Amino acid sequence: MKRFECLQAIASLIRDELFVTTAGGATAEWNGIHPSDGNIQVKTLGLCSSIGLGLALSLPKRKVFVFDGDGALWMNLGSLATIGLHQPKNLIHICWDNQQYESSGGEPTVATAGKIDFAGVARNAGIQSSCAATTIEELKQAVGHALSHDGPHFIWVRIEAGRAEAPPLPYDELENKYHFIRYVEETEGINILRVPMPASYLLK
């Protein structure tokens, strides 16, 4: 199955969740399918799972999706252990595994040899709700379960390589960040950017 059809299936299940998307094809495809200020792109390969963890811990009542890739997850495999340690109930971590570094030209990743079981790694790192989805139906079921149950959740999805036609993001990182933060401020009723009085001015 293709990532694009998987993402379309997820779009039919969600409401106001937040999405952290990896440096790779998933970002443009997801923003094409579900354009929202609740989407934040990631530029550091591997770091989306850690960013998702920080976001989930700071907004424990909000569901946070992470769209990871096999190359990115390999680079930060330790983040699974860290998520397993902290147990964020609201984190839904999905690894789109196309068995290659697609954005870098298709070189092999650790997944290419077919030896690694990412769901098994996640489970043994302490993420109990961890599964592999091999069909769209299984994926929808797993995401539906993750949306209605406490996590953390990890879903491993092996997909066909190849990118759907999707326009590039309409904004750069800074604009993306400001849109995202304003969206969180508005939907959570909190203030993030305004600092009432600088700390150094309060010192005696």
Footprint on this chain of another protein (rule: CB under 8 A): 20, 40, 42-44, 46-59, 62, 76, 78-79, 81-82, 85-86, 173-174, 176-177, 180-181, 184-185, 188, 190-192, 195, 198-203
Contact 52, 72 (CB under 8 A): no
- Least distance from C-beta 9 to another protein, angstroms? 25
CA distance 65 to 83: 13
- Least distance from C-beta 159 to another protein, angstroms? 24
Burial, 136: exposed, middle or buried (Cβ in 10 Å; 0-12, 13-18, 19+)?
A: middle
Question: Which residue lies nearer to another protein by CB, 1 or 110?
Answer: 110
Report which DSSP code applies to 89. T
Question: Which residue lies nearer to another protein by CB, 49 or 99?
Answer: 49
Question: Which residue lies nearer to another protein by CB, 4 or 74?
Answer: 74
Other CB atoms within a 10 A radius of the CB of residue 128 amount to 12
Helix boundaries (H) for the chain: 3-11, 25-33, 48-58, 70-75, 78-86, 118-124, 136-148, 173-188
- Least distance from C-beta 48 to another protein, angstroms? 8
Question: Which residue lies nearer to another protein by CB, 79 or 99?
Answer: 79
- Least distance from C-beta 12 to another protein, angstroms? 26
